Structure 1
Amino acid sequence: MQNRKLSLLMGISLAAICQPVMAQDAETDTQPAEAEESIVVTGTRITANGDNLPTPVTVAATDELLKTSPSNIADGLNKLPIFALSRGTSNLNNNTDNFTGNYLNLRGFGIQRNLILLDGNRMAPTSYTGAVDTNVIPQMLVQRVEVVTGGASAVYGSDAVSGVVNFVLDKKFEGLKVEAQSGISGRGDARSWRAAAAFGANFADDRGHFMASIEHFQQNGLDDKESRKNGKAIYAIAGSGTTADPFRLITNARNAAIPFQGANLFSGRVFVAPGVLGNATPGISQGGALASGGDGFYGKGSSATADLKTDQAFARMDYDVTENISVYVQGLYAQAKTFNNFYPNLIFPTIVGADNAFLSPAAQAELAGGGFGPVFLYSRVFDDPNHLLGVRSNAKSWMGSAGIKGSTANFDWTVHYQHSETKSVNTQVNNILAGNVLAALDAVDSGLFAGGAANGQIVCRVTLTNPGVYPGCVPLNGFGASPASQSAALDYVTGDNFNIPKFTMDVVSASVSGTAFENWAGPVRFAISGEYRTLSLDVSSNTPPDLLANCTGIRFGCVQGVTPVYRDTLLTPINESDNVKEAAIEVDFPLLKDSGVGSINLSGAARYTDYKTSGSVTTWKVGGDWNVMDGLRFRATRSRDIRAPSLWELFQPQTLSSSGYFDLLTNSAGLNGIVATSQGGNSNLVPEKADTLTFGGVFRPSGVPGLSIAIDYYKIKLGNAISQIDGRLASIQTACNTSNGTNNFCSLYERPTPTSFPSLVRIATLNAASIKTWGIDGEVNYNFGVGSDGKISLRGLVGYQPQLTTVLAPGIEPQIGAGTAATQSTGGVPKLRLTAFIGYSNSDFAVDLQQRWRSSLKWDATRSLVFDIPDVPSVMYTDATFTFFPGQDKDKQIFFSVQNLFDKNPPPYLTAGTSGTPAFSFPATTGDDIIGRYFTVGAKMKF
């Protein structure tokens, strides 16, 4: 059976077609003989052509990437099979990070487990996780992107577990080029535009070179997810995932516990007019607080994708001091802004006095007699568009570097210094101020309160009893009154809480490479390098240090020392740093040359790294390249790779938030399907360690010029993996419940009593996980001439990944990520991913088509969960671009591009972790197209 699968895969690889250079393995470069000189690629610090590297390297030319993905380079990369579960503008809801940035993910192994380089130099983190938002990279002068699709920690250092993504600048660019474009969806939304310019010139008799670029891109997000079919359906997952109560997908979902009018919880009564009670429309119960239809809460006004604005500026100058020594200096500045509405603001169930002045006498009497004494349990949704809960991020990055390079007859050397800073302002817009809302919900008539007659002047009780505690308190009529009429009160009970993380990185590095000596088969080459870098993370916040509200004068719902200032996601300031010392050596040793069995090269690398925070570690790599005959070669590598814990993972303060949650112990979603959560770092973390194996081959039949085929196998086993042991997950809950409360995971739950719904669920960070994956990457390239000046280019790429298995901790059921649908909180990848390109060009015009397809997906990585839902079906997207060359000049281009040509709607998907409440984010698996058919028109001119 396994052999049949591999045979099928090879057949697909051979049949797939796509555009050369668009995303090509360096080993399968099929450029014609008159093309430019051979490209030197990433994968080694030893200068070498990619044709002789044992490590698979995919080369993606920038111009080709942007043909069918004109938004940005990262969007083009993410359409290739080697990338999966990358993060972008459709990944919403996280105000502690620039969550909607463009973070690349190789094979779904984690955005922090591939290393991002700019011209071979490490980029500073822009995310708490230690990952890099590629929106900060200046795209106009990027010539190509080289992706090492195997472990490379011994060559480049920490984070290169699943590979390296190197953005390579065109450092010899000359002339002036300008670009402009505009885009819009087929539904008239998600408008975008881009404008950019670049200039380069030599000076001082060609001894010096200067170049610079500036660019701006912005795209409006889908501000209302109901503008698309999936969002309008209002999906939710009902059930508990057992055989008796399987998970099922419902539409028109509502959280019946929190209505839009305001409610007396448990009574079935809502406020049908200001201060007037009436019967609720409950909808069809789906268990707990979840219902189909009725008055309940759902994500009305929530965004489907985030707004995105990026600005980038870059400049570089180099100068040949002598014939063999040159100096350079370069700098970049980038800013990325994102914003999305998360969901309508709401007040979770809380205690309110039945004597509230906004209530009618009849409502006061009914509520006072409800069995709770002179109070009642209240909840409400406020869907005022000016007070939606939103997430905004503004990330600014700048980097300056300088260096000197030299060469002798046998050696090349370089010394490099780099300083980088990234500062983000991450804001939760219109967050509920817990103390303010409790004060505003305790409203009195000032005349009655003073012992006189009612005067209609309604004020906050605390204004009269303790006027200095909550100055300016505006009473909130949350009892049937329209949100629009409560604008001043909603301004008072909401506020923007923000955190400002600042990463600073300084790097000094030096390297020497060249030929040590000649042996019987050729030159023995080497590279020695050393590096010292410091990294600091400073987080500030507008939240008071103790994070707690002042409960003085507030009668109900506020507990001194417990109630937070802001309801959601609070951070305390931190200031932490790390320094890293590294030394590495790499050797390329030719073993045989033109012998009876061909030519064989062996290579090896080793690196010693010492982290101040997490100790020392050694990484290594060995590989071989066997050129059997002209047109046929094989390659293999074996390596030990690492990822060191980020400063955030080590020292993250406790973060308070709330989340949808279904509790398996009580078999309920509690009062409202929401639970308080807490998450923090762990200073005892140590580096993750991975063992990586790759082997494959490249075939270029001499009888078919322009044809090349490459197939590579990879296997990665990661131990000591840093993972979040999330108490919300069904597998963690089950492990605790089946141990009758004795398992260590039971410490993740705080319950008022041993059998009650939890008041808090924790998310712990530990070196407890292991991850295994294996798969096969395949490429087919073919290009040939047609007519007098026409050319057809065909290329196909396939990614087959039948295993991506995560064990969060010993004794926990494995998470089967291969063939599983995914969001950023639940990892998963399609088992089979295909991308195909076909292009035709002549002197007048070019037509380019891109086809991508993924296989069907299971609903959850925990296979023991029971679903009464069909698998998420496979899906295919088609992109097309027509380019016209005015005057037959290919330096002048006018193009028209259509992405998702057939307007394919993504199959609905949401994680079972949100069971018990309607989905807040757009219900689609990561990587599927949300916007739909999209048109872009633009021009590119070079002078």
Structure 2
Amino acid sequence: MKKLNALLLSSTCFAVLLAAPAMAQDAQQDTSSASTADTQDSGAIVVTGSRITRPNAAAASPITSVTSEAIRAQAAVNIEEVLNRIPSVAPDSQQNYQDSDGRQRIKLRNLGFERTLILVDGKRLGTMNGLDANMIPTALVSRVDVLTGGASAVYGSDAVAGVVNFILDNNFEGIQANANYNFYAHDNKPGLVSQVAKNYGFAQPAQGLSTDGGRVDLSLTAGKKFFDDRMHVSAYVDYRKANLVPYGARETSGCQLVEGTKDGPLSCSISSYTGYGYVSPQSGPNAGNAYLNNPNGTRTFVPYSSALAANPYDGYSFQRKNERWNAGGFASFKISDAAEVYANAMWFRDKSANVYPARVYSSTAYADGPYQVRCNNPYMSAAQATAICGTAAGTSTFVPIELRYRMTSVPDLEDRYTNEGLRITGGVRGEFAKGWSYDVGGVYARNQMDTSWAGPLYARVNNALNVVNNNGTISCVNDVANGCVPFDPFSANSATNNTALYNYLIAGTYGTSTTTNTLYNGIATIQGDLGTYGIKSPWADEGVAIAFGAEYREDQLKSHADAIWRESVSDDADRYLAQHVWEGNVELQVPIAQHKAFADLLQVNGAYRLSKYSSNPDTFSTWKAEAIWAPVEDITFRASINRAQRAPTVVESFQGSNTSYGRITTAYNDICAPTVVSTSIDPVTGRPVNVYGAPTASREACRATGLADNLYGSATLLCPTDVGCTYRAGGFTVDPETAYTKTFGVVLKPRFLPGLVVSADRFLIDLNQSIGYNDYAYFSQGCQQTADPFFCSMFVRNADGTLSSNPTTNPTTGFIRQGTTNYYKSKSHGWDFQGQYALPLGGNIGRLDFDFAGTLTTLAGAQDASFLAERNCVGYYGGAGCGQFIAKWTHNLRGTYTTPDQFFSMSLNWRHLGPLTRTSNSGEASLGADASTVRKTFYRIDAYDYFDLSLNFRVEKSFSFRIAANNILDKTPPVMPNSYDIGLSRANTISARYDSLGRQIAFSTTVNF
């Protein structure tokens, strides 16, 4: 009942800031016409940036908007593609990312998705950990507003980087069908990758023009008004499907390029999982030797070599195949001016997969040890039996063996992801007194993700290996009742087209883990125009406006897994995490002067919010202060400062508070223990003898870890060879992080150039006590290098100084801490530039419209501690500290010509991405660069320019047809080795930033009935 009551609490209202179709920057613009339309149609004014719904509200913070016209010109199939073109949004490409789970989240200012709040019509889309922005149908988007900078005081504590507000056409009347089909038309030309891959005999795509990657987006929308337009009902259904494009379909990804040393020779990643079969005895005279079955088909072994290796990634997904259904509806009924009831629902179901070749895995993938094979296995030749078993050849003795096999001409294995979500909003709004209105409502959002992985079970492989020859018929000894199929690992290509073996090893092995994120959100807002009661400045036409709000949110995460997942992946799958927050806020708009000399508009705004999270003992506050001054209507100055605070998400909170222990499995040595400088063999015992030197850390640093001086360099500090040292994660409270966001800008709207609006805004975002995950190595290395308590206090030693413990008997000491915690600062500084110009050409020629948005980033990075240098990653890529690929300058410029009768329009868009330099060549010590890191090859990505063309034909009022070409020049993406270390892509490029698949052609139509 508590959740139901909370759900019935209020909702947000917003006022329209945009007069320009692609830009919301005019701080003086009169939006009353747009506002009136919204009010008449739906009873609600939709604005981004304030809960006060004053129609002529002015934008004190920079807002970028993308309109439905621009989305249609782009022929976007999903929201992901729309967002990637906005300069303030960090590019992301979940559909071109092999390891994706299919969900799209948004990162503003490169500050992480946890710091960007996503709204639909002013209300939260869902939980921060579980949302998928691609559930929003592109055909129903009226515009997308991006408000960058802190907005916590208005929207909630997690709007640190800003908000993205999707304004939907939820007031549609009639019936409308939209169809969009697009595909890639790319010219494959031999290049660097194909040259290297040729040396390995890897198959490459055919040269010349290829078409692939077809995607379809079909939607149907219907709406109707009743009872003298007091009631409105509309609904939509949307279907999307995308075909697989494998890595092997592009010459730039024919193999994964590897550069072993700086400026060294290039090679391809190779795999021992081949159709020939990999065999390695684990006992006997040839133990550890690696063989392949002879490719000539004889049952003999040849030594394993790269010349016979396979391409491990040729079938990986460059574009992931997926299928999605979206559906929803909107309803409202205006009982009177005092009460309008509204409800909206959105549902989606998305299925996608990451594909990879079917394989018989190495036994090292399991915890059960090597496979076992009989020395009289009927598939082995005498020579093979001798190589594997030695003198036991021909007997029934079992010996350990290592096997790897790539199964060809059978279905690929898939990592399957099914995402399903439901979002319901509802409430009541209206006027309850002169000048006063209210909105009480809430959001229920539930997103469920099923993750299914498969692979041969260890027991089934051993069953298939344990075979005997019965009168010429080879059959399994065990598991016959369940259809065991004999496996022949001792001849080349024995698993090719072997569907019976594939079915036995793979069928029924898909284990599933289910994670469900649920949001209960109730909001109540009361706003008033105090000017109704004469409370206003003597120099202003409008009075003081005020809004009060109260909000409750509960965020839940539940997860569980089936028996197969627990057996083959992890038995630690059950989770129930939850936290809730109570918040209250107040917001003011105070016009001081309007239409006066030297003050066409002078206004100040402010907001304050208190938040109390169940996961934190403290109550914390956020606030904003804004000022707008237009000395004349042609020019407006604006400034704002926001103090935004973000509490940890439910997952971060759990990671911080839940205590878990583990062993450091890598070769780790206590920084205060002696180091091994040499090793020799004792001639008597035959055992290795180590010669030790000084510790890697100074005595001062070790003292800061709590170590007594007399134990410095003692051999007793060495991590035990059998279990290693211990780390502990969690066991503490993660405090909220705090961001101070300042913006200063100017908007020009010269009367002598009607239709021109330009703006420039400086943004400064400084994030303190940044929440993040750091492992034990981060603290260990930091302590060694700085001796500062910030790092060294993470060492919690036993009384004897050691770092190894059994948490069951000693949970309080003997470990290094790691996990989610607060550290020092993250920063993002720069400039936003926007412009719009509507140019009538006169007579019967038509008109030209220009829209421009550009961002100059001057600082993007972090400072891990006050005594460490600040990292600035702008213009750099690669390296441990710069993974966001932030160009100094990016922009979009769209020009559109429209005929006077609007029968035809042509739109050309220019996307510019600034150059990037590898951190190794930055010359910045804070980025790990010095003279030894300078590279001569693969150290720079030149600026990239993409051009997109769209043609629209409005055949008649009810029918329009569009043709679009994105990346019309088919520009090839930059190629770099070791791309996974740079951009988590094995396709030799940064898939999220560049058009990796080439030219895209689209055909779309809209039909109104």
TM-score bracket relative to the smaller structure = 0.7 to 0.9
**Structure 1 residue 280, shift from structure 2 partner:** 3.8
Label 1:710 to 1:50 Cα distance change in 2 as closer, same or farther (>3 A). Answer: farther
**Structure 1 residue 702, shift from structure 2 partner:** 1.5
1:415 lines up with 2:440 in the alignment: yes
**Structure 1 residue 411, shift from structure 2 partner:** 1.1
1:401 lines up with 2:425 in the alignment: yes
Give 1:182's aligned residue: 181
1:714 lines up with 2:758 in the alignment: no
Question: d(CA) in 1 for partners of 2:54 and 2:173?
Answer: 25
Which amino acid in 2 is paired with 1:806?
A
SS at match of 1:102: coil
Which amino acid in 2 is paired with 1:853?
H
Question: d(CA) in 2 for partners of 1:341 and 1:656?
Answer: 34
Q: 1:21 touches 1:60 (CA, 8 Å); kept in 2?
A: no
Which amino acid in 1 is paired with 2:545?
R
**More off after superposition, 615-624 vs 698-707:** 615-624
Post-superposition Cα deviations, 1:721-746, rounded to whole Å, max 9, x if no partner, equal 2323367x9x7896599799x97899
Equivalent residue for 2:862, pick from 806, 812, 821:
806
1:832 lines up with 2:832 in the alignment: no
Question: d(CA) in 1 for partners of 2:522 and 2:346?
Answer: 18
Question: d(CA) in 1 for partners of 2:244 and 2:729?
Answer: 31
1:776 lines up with 2:802 in the alignment: no
Give 1:433's aligned residue: 457
Q: 1:693 touches 1:715 (CA, 8 Å); kept in 2?
A: yes
Label 1:476 to 1:571 Cα distance change in 2 as closer, same or farther (>3 A). Answer: farther
**More off after superposition, 839-848 vs 65-74:** 65-74
SS at match of 1:518: coil
Which amino acid in 2 is paired with 1:863?
L
Equivalent residue for 2:215, pick from 189, 192, 210:
192
Give 1:626's aligned residue: 629
Question: d(CA) in 2 for partners of 1:933 and 1:29?
Answer: 40
**Structure 1 residue 65, shift from structure 2 partner:** 1.9
Give 2:474's aligned residue: 457
Give 2:908's aligned residue: 849
1:267 lines up with 2:270 in the alignment: no
Question: d(CA) in 2 for partners of 1:347 and 1:876?
Answer: 44
Label 1:603 to 1:478 Cα distance change in 2 as closer, same or farther (>3 A). Answer: farther
Q: 1:45 touches 1:527 (CA, 8 Å); kept in 2?
A: yes
Post-superposition Cα deviations, 1:668-702, rounded to whole Å, max 9, x if no partner, equal xxxxxxxxxx9987773333322211111111122
Equivalent residue for 2:754, pick from 676, 693, 705:
705
Give 1:173's aligned residue: 172
Alignment of 1:374-393 (within 5 A): 378-384=402-408, 386=410, 388-393=412-417
Which amino acid in 2 is paired with 1:321?
I
**Structure 1 residue 582, shift from structure 2 partner:** 0.8
Question: d(CA) in 2 for partners of 1:745 and 1:249?
Answer: 41
Question: d(CA) in 1 for partners of 2:475 and 2:660?
Answer: 37
Give 1:936's aligned residue: 1002
1:478 lines up with 2:481 in the alignment: no
Question: d(CA) in 2 for partners of 1:620 and 1:33?
Answer: 28
Label 1:269 to 1:771 Cα distance change in 2 as closer, same or farther (>3 A). Answer: same
Which amino acid in 1 is paired with 2:249?
S
Label 1:146 to 1:738 Cα distance change in 2 as closer, same or farther (>3 A). Answer: closer
SS at match of 2:90: coil
SS at match of 2:336: coil
**Structure 1 residue 368, shift from structure 2 partner:** 3.8
Alignment of 1:759-798 (within 5 A): 764-768=819-823, 770-789=825-844, 790-798=846-854
Q: 1:38 touches 1:49 (CA, 8 Å); kept in 2?
A: no
Question: d(CA) in 2 for partners of 1:189 and 1:694?
Answer: 45
**Structure 1 residue 275, shift from structure 2 partner:** 8.4
SS at match of 1:650: helix
1:220 lines up with 2:243 in the alignment: yes
Question: d(CA) in 2 for partners of 1:44 and 1:30?
Answer: 16
SS at match of 1:642: strand
Equivalent residue for 1:362, pick from 363, 366, 383:
383
Q: 2:450 touches 2:513 (CA, 8 Å); kept in 1?
A: yes
Label 1:593 to 1:183 Cα distance change in 2 as closer, same or farther (>3 A). Answer: closer
Give 2:342's aligned residue: 328
Equivalent residue for 1:278, pick from 272, 288, 301:
301
Question: d(CA) in 2 for partners of 1:76 and 1:87?
Answer: 11
Q: 1:632 touches 1:700 (CA, 8 Å); kept in 2?
A: yes
Specify which structure has the bigger relative contact order, considering alpha-carbon pairs within 8 angstroms and separated by 6 or more residues: 1
- In structure 2, the gaps of 5 or more residues are 1-17, 39-45, 186-209, 282-287, 365-369, 670-674, 677-726, 797-802, 805-815, 921-925
**Structure 1 residue 176, shift from structure 2 partner:** 2.2
Give 1:520's aligned residue: 538
Q: 1:696 touches 1:710 (CA, 8 Å); kept in 2?
A: yes
**Structure 1 residue 335, shift from structure 2 partner:** 1.8
Which amino acid in 2 is paired with 1:767?
N
SS at match of 1:124: coil
**Structure 1 residue 711, shift from structure 2 partner:** 0.7
1:89 lines up with 2:95 in the alignment: yes
**Structure 1 residue 271, shift from structure 2 partner:** 2.0
Q: 1:269 touches 1:280 (CA, 8 Å); kept in 2?
A: yes
**Structure 1 residue 763, shift from structure 2 partner:** 8.3
Q: 1:396 touches 1:424 (CA, 8 Å); kept in 2?
A: yes
Task: Give me the identity figure in percent.
Answer: 21
SS at match of 2:153: helix
**Structure 1 residue 931, shift from structure 2 partner:** 2.2
**Structure 1 residue 381, shift from structure 2 partner:** 4.4
Question: d(CA) in 2 for partners of 1:566 and 1:536?
Answer: 27
Which amino acid in 2 is paired with 1:529?
G
Q: 1:85 touches 1:829 (CA, 8 Å); kept in 2?
A: no
Question: d(CA) in 2 for partners of 1:330 and 1:698?
Answer: 36
Alignment of 1:731-750 (within 5 A): none
1:60 lines up with 2:66 in the alignment: yes
SS at match of 1:858: strand
Post-superposition Cα deviations, 1:625-661, rounded to whole Å, max 9, x if no partner, equal 111211111111111213322223333699999xxx9
Label 1:851 to 1:746 Cα distance change in 2 as closer, same or farther (>3 A). Answer: farther
**Structure 1 residue 191, shift from structure 2 partner:** 0.9
SS at match of 1:105: coil
Which amino acid in 1 is paired with 2:758?
I
Label 1:436 to 1:643 Cα distance change in 2 as closer, same or farther (>3 A). Answer: farther
**Structure 1 residue 835, shift from structure 2 partner:** 0.9
Q: 2:892 touches 2:912 (CA, 8 Å); kept in 1?
A: yes
Which amino acid in 1 is paired with 2:387?
E
Q: 1:280 touches 1:295 (CA, 8 Å); kept in 2?
A: no
**Structure 1 residue 801, shift from structure 2 partner:** 1.4
SS at match of 1:907: coil
SS at match of 2:96: coil
Alignment of 1:123-202 (within 5 A): 123-125=125-127, 130=129, 132-186=131-185, 187-202=210-225
Which amino acid in 1 is paired with 2:250?
R
Give 2:772's aligned residue: 723
CA RMSD of aligned residues (A): 4.3
**More off after superposition, 247-256 vs 517-526:** 247-256
Q: 1:275 touches 1:359 (CA, 8 Å); kept in 2?
A: no
SS at match of 1:64: helix
Q: 1:155 touches 1:584 (CA, 8 Å); kept in 2?
A: yes
Give 2:688's aligned residue: none
Q: 1:105 touches 1:111 (CA, 8 Å); kept in 2?
A: yes
Give 2:740's aligned residue: 691
Post-superposition Cα deviations, 1:155-177, rounded to whole Å, max 9, x if no partner, equal 00032111111111334332222
SS at match of 2:94: coil
SS at match of 2:941: coil
Number of aligned pairs? 843
Question: d(CA) in 2 for partners of 1:478 and 1:746?
Answer: 50
Give 1:450's aligned residue: none
Give 2:229's aligned residue: 206
Relative to the length of structure 2, the TM-score reads: 0.75
